[in-house]
Amino acid sequence: MSELSSNITLGAGCYWGTEKYIKRDFQKMFPNSIKSASVGFMSPFEDHKKNPSYRQVCTGETGHVEVLNVELNEPEKHLEELIKFFFLFHDPTTENRQGNDVGTQYASAIFVNDPEQKKIVDKVINDLQSHLDENKSPYHGNKVMTLIHDATEFYPAHDEHQEYLFKNPNGYCNHYMRMKEFPLN
C-alpha cells in the first residue's frame, strides 16, 4: 500500500466558490483539516501551456481547469470526507459547465497524486452514481461527469484572485449547497 498524498486538486467550476466552500464550510465541519489551499489552474494534459494567465485560461484554448489546490493535515482522516463534500456544492453531472459558466475551465475535475487517492475518489464517485441511478439525489437519472486525472503542474492564480470571495463577499459565485449531506448507503 502506497502512502496517501496530502495534496489534491479540485475543479468545481469557478474557483472562487470552490475555495469559499472548502476553506470556510469544510473547515468548520472538520477543524484544522486543511493545512493550505489556493486557487489556480491545472491541465489534464501533460503537454500543456506553462503558467497560463487567467485571461488565457478563460479563452478555453489552454485546456486548463480552474482549481483549488488543497493540502490536508491528515489525509487518511479527511480526504474521503473532502471528496464527499466537494459533491455537495456543485453539479457533477454537467460537462464543462456550472450554471452560466461554460467552458473547459469550469469542468468538474479531481486531480489525484497517487493510486490511493484515486481509489478513494473512485469509491466516492461510484457511491454517488449508484444514488443517482436509484433516484436518491437531486441529479437522479444523470451520470457523474467529474473527470479524474493524474495531477500535473499547479499554477497559482494572481494574488487578487486568492480568497476573492472573502475579500469581496458580494462577488460572483454560482455555487450553493445542493445537498445537505453526501448520500449514504
Q: Which residues contact 61 (CB under 8 A, 6 or more apart)?
A: none
55 contacts: CB under 8 Å, gap ≥ 6: none
- C-alpha distance across the termini of the chain, in Å: 26
From the candidates 14, 110, 132, 165, give the one annotated as an active-site residue: 14
For 109, list phi and psi in degrees, rounded to 5: -150, 145
For residues 40 and 146, what is the distance between their CA atoms, to the nearest angstrom? 18
Q: Is 14 a catalytic residue?
A: yes
Distance (Å, rounded) from C-alpha 21 to C-alpha 55?
A: 24
Residue-wise burial string across 62-86, b where 16 or more C-beta atoms lie within 10 A, e elsewhere? bbbbbbbbbebeebeebbbbbbbbb
CA 31, CA 184: separation in Å to the nearest integer?
Answer: 22
List active site positions: 14
